[in-house]
Amino acid sequence: MASENVVVVTNDNFQKEVLESDLPVLVDFWAAWCGPCKMIAPVIEEIAEEFKGKVKVCKLNVDENAETAGEFGIMSIPTLLLFKDGVLAGQQIGFQPKEALVRFINGAI
């Protein structure tokens, strides 16, 4: 489900890939059965391409990684969390058009 620009994160590699990243990290919390998650997936791919080298983009399947989703209080998906220097810097819940996501990311980095 991820492309060359999108990193798949799990309970096991979340700390390393997200919290210890030198770049700001956008994490898409999603599930295979989620309609809005499927709608936002191509937007996430475009964001990953446009922000390549500036923001790391990751996807975390909440069904397979409930522990991490629970740690961050993910109640509805898609939820996008933006981390900067290992700290939560912003959150967006639900489908967002690309322009809104670009503003969200630029505002946080």
Residue type, 51: F
- Please, which residues bridge with residue 61 across strands? 30
Given the residues 25, 37, 69, 77, the one annotated as active site: 37
pLDDT at site 10? 98
User: CB–CB of 24/108 below 8 Å?
Assistant: yes
Contacts for 39 with CB less than 8 Å, ≥ 6 apart: 95
pLDDT tens for the chain, residues 1 to 109: 557 899 999 999 999 999 999 999 999 999 999 999 999 999 999 999 999 999 999 999 999 999 999 999 999 999 999 999 999 999 999 999 999 999 999 998 8
Domain ranges of the chain: 6-108
Given the residues 7, 34, 57, 60, the one annotated as active site: 34
pLDDT at site 2? 57
> Is 37 a catalytic site residue?
yes
- Could you tell me the two tokens for 3? 């492309």
User: CB–CB of 48/57 below 8 Å?
Assistant: yes
- Whole-model pTM? 0.95
- Could you tell me the two tokens for 46? 């475009």
> Is 34 a catalytic site residue?
yes
Backbone angles phi, psi at 104, to 5 degrees: -60, -50
Domain 6-108: CATH class, spelled out: alpha beta
